[in-house]
Amino acid sequence: MPSTPTALSYLLFDLDETLYPSSCGLMQAVSERMTAFVAEFLKVGEEEAARIRRRLRVGYGTTLTGLMREYGLEVAEQYLAYTHDVPIESFLSKDPSLGAALSSIPLPKSVLTNSPLEHAERVLKRLGVRQQFERVFDLRFNGYTGKPDAAVYSRALGALGRAAPEVLLVDNHLDYLAPFRSMGGSVLLIDESGDAGPQLPEGVPSLRDIKELPAYLAG
């Protein structure tokens, strides 16, 4: 296992498919609603909408950001309300072992997510870990701009009064980690399937499960 970063004083976590397994299906349900919204908004078929979403995700980090910048979407709140209107309780349940793992790490923690605040609050409450996090930085906090835009990380760091080298960013998207690493921050990939192994840049460690984080930090 790669050596753990030193001199850390803060942990910054992604939310979806980082604090819970991607295999639970929650984000697949959200993604399906995103595709449906794009299809209706652009008046295209769902296959074409999915293709457009993939392109926007690569170019802008989020579908919403791409729709706003390329297609003039002005109803961001309508988009967020529709796409995240999923029954979280059907996918997630309270996870005492996650709470125990997080509470065993004696460092302050916050969440940095591309999801809206109300979705994040519902997920954290459902998992039973809301009290573990000082702040939740959502898409609105960053003016509807999401990771991996470097300004997103700078804004969160500024609000926390932290410098990047003091912080470990934990995320399930490799491309979301790269900008933070270039700022001098430490990064950790959550890769449930293990598929990212061959693609991992040198010095980017990964874990299969967020609950392995205490042991990783203990070195």
Q: Which domains does the chain have, with CATH numbers?
A: 10-23+91-218 (3.40.50.1000), 26-88 (1.10.150.450)
212 has pLDDT over 70 = yes
2 has pLDDT over 70 = no
Please tell me the predicted confidence (pLDDT) of residue 194: 86
Q: For residue 13, give the nearest of 147, 141, 126, 142 by alpha carbon.
A: 147
CA distances to 49, 66, 106, 141, 214 from 101, rounded to whole Å, are 39, 36, 11, 28, 6
Per-residue pLDDT band for 4 (boundaries 50, 70, 90) equals: low
Between CA 219 and CA 207 the distance in angstroms is 13
pTM for the model stands at 0.92
pLDDT digits (tens, 9 = 90+) for 166-204: 999 999 999 999 999 999 999 999 999 888 877 788 889
10 has pLDDT over 80 = yes
User: Can you name the residues that pair with 11 across neighbouring β-strands?
Assistant: 109, 168
Per-residue pLDDT band for 1 (boundaries 50, 70, 90) equals: very low
Tokens matching residue 153: 């990380």
